[in-house]
Amino acid sequence: MSADSSVHPEQLVGDIVRSAFTSAGQRCSALRVLFLQEEISDRVVKMLRGAMAELRVGDPSLLNTDIGPVIDNDARDGLIAHAERMQRDAELLAETPMPEGLDAGAFFAPRAYAIPGIEILEREVFGPILHIVRFGAGELDTVIDKINATGYGLTLGIHSRIDETAKHIRARARVDNIYVNRNMIGAVVGVQPFGGEGLSGTGPKAGGPSYLKRFATERTVSDNIAAVGGNPVLLSLDEEGQAEA
């Protein structure tokens, strides 16, 4: 997701939290890296800390739970290993408190880190970890180039109240699903066809009216069999003079 200085910070933070941490960050479209313009970064990070402090990690069957466990212990172990690396190579900006008594389940506290650039991430981290990269006002094209350079192209969020900025990003980004001034999860099947490009897949988009047809290969064969043995329709006249094939 890219957010410039024209955004509404309150709306942005709400969309960040929903995009990065809903379903414990295990959606394929979840927000992994936030590019945040420097002029608003301190204010947004302060608000994000407050929002993350209010999240409740726990049993997903309880109505007051915001974040449930990740899918299994192997997934949690991978997140723990990544967090240990981030402790060395990044700055921890916020971490949601973990309540006591969460013994049954692979729970992992949502975290946000400041990183120097998206290129330090070797692979996608599938869970509630957000990485934030600050960028200057004149560096938007560099941001887009770095996103494209990852090779992944499933979802991109754009937060800007400047139409030309949003159009510019949409035109240059090699991403199949782009969300402007909203969260970047929860595409509605049958209404918003969904698919990716590059390393995120190049197959047909799921959910659209032409989805099933895209799996078929249509071939047309026209054969002039008259050229190898006469008229393909052999007519004869019956007793009443009617043609029959």
Decide if 135 contacts 142 (C-beta within 8 A): yes
Q: What is the reported pTM? A: 0.84
Residue 158's identity, in one-letter code, is I
Rounded Cα distance between 59 and 68, Å, is: 6
- C-alpha dihedral sign at 53, 115, 187, 201: negative
Output the furthest CA–CA distance in the chain (Å, rounded).
Answer: 97
Reported as a single tens digit per residue, the pLDDT across 142-188 is 999 999 999 999 999 999 999 999 999 999 999 989 999 999 998 77
Q: What domains does the chain contain, in order, with CATH numbers?
A: 2-198 (3.40.309.10)
Structure tokens at 107: 């729970």
Reported as a single tens digit per residue, the pLDDT across 25-66 is 999 999 999 999 999 999 999 999 999 999 999 999 999 999
For the chain, the average pLDDT equals 89
Rounded Cα distance between 32 and 34, Å, is: 7
Decide if 234 contacts 245 (C-beta within 8 A): yes
